[in-house]
Amino acid sequence: MKKIGIINSEISKVISELGHTDKIVICDSGLPIPSHVKRIDLALKQGVPSFMETLETVLVEMQVEKACIATEMLTVSPDMKAKVDAALQGIELKSVSHEEFKQMTKDAKAVIRTGEFTPYANIILEAGVVF
């Protein structure tokens, strides 16, 4: 059994296989997931696990260079946006329309679906390098 870090084998595997600029998505329970992208479905019930709990856990193990959210998060879910900003601590964050965001998910290595019910609680994380 793994002693520290992410114990979900699928998430751990995806993170360990990421190369520079590869992307993963952490999403709320409603984001459409492209059929060809690996789906890691953690959603158990409303709010479990939460988007932020999942994001903070992934950030412990993944070297993130850039991140992207939907512009709609800024106006529809400003409290969530503030939490995302606090969690990213200096990681470059851009925003695009929700429609463009959904198109960008097609290039992700995996989408991690949470039980989050907050609108637009979705993020694309782009892998950096540790050297």
Active-site residue numbers?
20
Residue 30 in tokens: 């409603």
Condensed to tens digits (0 to 9), the pLDDT of residues 54-101 reads: 999 999 999 999 999 999 999 999 999 999 999 999 999 999 999 999
What pTM does this model have? 0.97
Q: Is 120 annotated as a binding residue?
A: yes
Spell out the domains of the chain, with CATH numbers in brackets. Answer: 9-127 (3.40.1650.10)
Condensed to tens digits (0 to 9), the pLDDT of residues 7-38 reads: 999 999 999 999 999 999 999 999 999 999 99
Q: Is 122 annotated as a binding residue?
A: yes
Q: Is 79 annotated as a binding residue?
A: no
Which helix H or strand E contains 56, and what residues bound it? Answer: helix 51-61
What's the order of all strands across the beta sheet hosting 64-70?
38-41, 110-113, 23-27, 123-127, 64-70, 92-96
